[in-house]
Amino acid sequence: MRYALSPGALAELARFVQNRPLLAFDIDGTLAPIVSRPWDARVPQTLQEQLSRLAARARVAVLTGRAVADAKGMLGFTPAYLVGNHGAEGVPGGERAAAAFARICSSWLATLADTAEAWRETHGVALEDKVYSLAFHYRHAEDPARARSLILQRVARLDPCPVIIHGKLVVNLLAPGAPHKGDAMMALLAHCGCNRGVYIGDDVTDEDVFRLREPAVLTVRVEHEPGSAADMYVKGQHEVERFVHELNKMVSAPSDNRMASRVSSRAGR
């Protein structure tokens, strides 16, 4: 992985985004700092302002594990696409499949919410209903490793057996056949007609985009991780705002250049 804010990487990025880019972002750990209680997470105001300017110049997408309704309240701008539940919600044309995923998650929830469920006795474990997926959070468990093991043992007995996506102290349950973020990214590129896309994320779920290895998709990871499939990295969430600032300068350049050319042409008449 190359450091995304180095002069060479920025020059490469500038060339890459010159022609109709789709610029896509994860939220937690990327746009918003990770906090102990996920519902307290916020996208910093200055970063929201940068994203708003970017969305006025290019197609911007947000791909998150959160539900769309939850994510919408965190953003101070309206992206061209807002995809939630790791790709199971919000992909254009995927409404019928999403409804089927919701029915499966509802049946799981009815089972797991029973008061006799053993997981409910594990302190620090919480089950989140995101309609199109479920998530077991165990950040506050006294023994996170043991809590994770108990969760995995329990969800393995669900019918149908869920697709499990591990995150930072969270176990995500998706319905069989549900798309992941990589599937969603490719679907959005096809839908918007963009020739290229940039994606930045920080977690295991974002590796589904990083592993695409598509020439038309350039990927950036928040924090260097030797095993990551991302093309580039920034050193931490604190550098994401600078990365967006650089994108703002890059995607505005073509129109600025054309305007300068027209002014120069008129001046020479």
Report in angstroms the alpha-carbon separations of 45 from 9, 48, 52, 124, 128. 27, 5, 11, 31, 27
CB 35 within 8 A of CB 44: no
- Please say whether the beta carbons of 168 and 203 come within 8 A: yes
Catalytic residue of the set 26, 183, 203, 231: 26
Annotation marks residue 114 as catalytic: no
For residue 139, what is the DSSP state? Answer: T
Is 160 buried (19+), middle (13-18) or exposed (0-12) by CB count in 10 A? Answer: exposed
* Cα separations in angstroms, 146 against 92, 143, 154, 157: 39, 5, 12, 18
Selection from 31, 95, 33 nearest residue 64 by Cα = 31
Q: Which residues pair with 259 in a beta bridge?
A: none
Active-site positions read 26
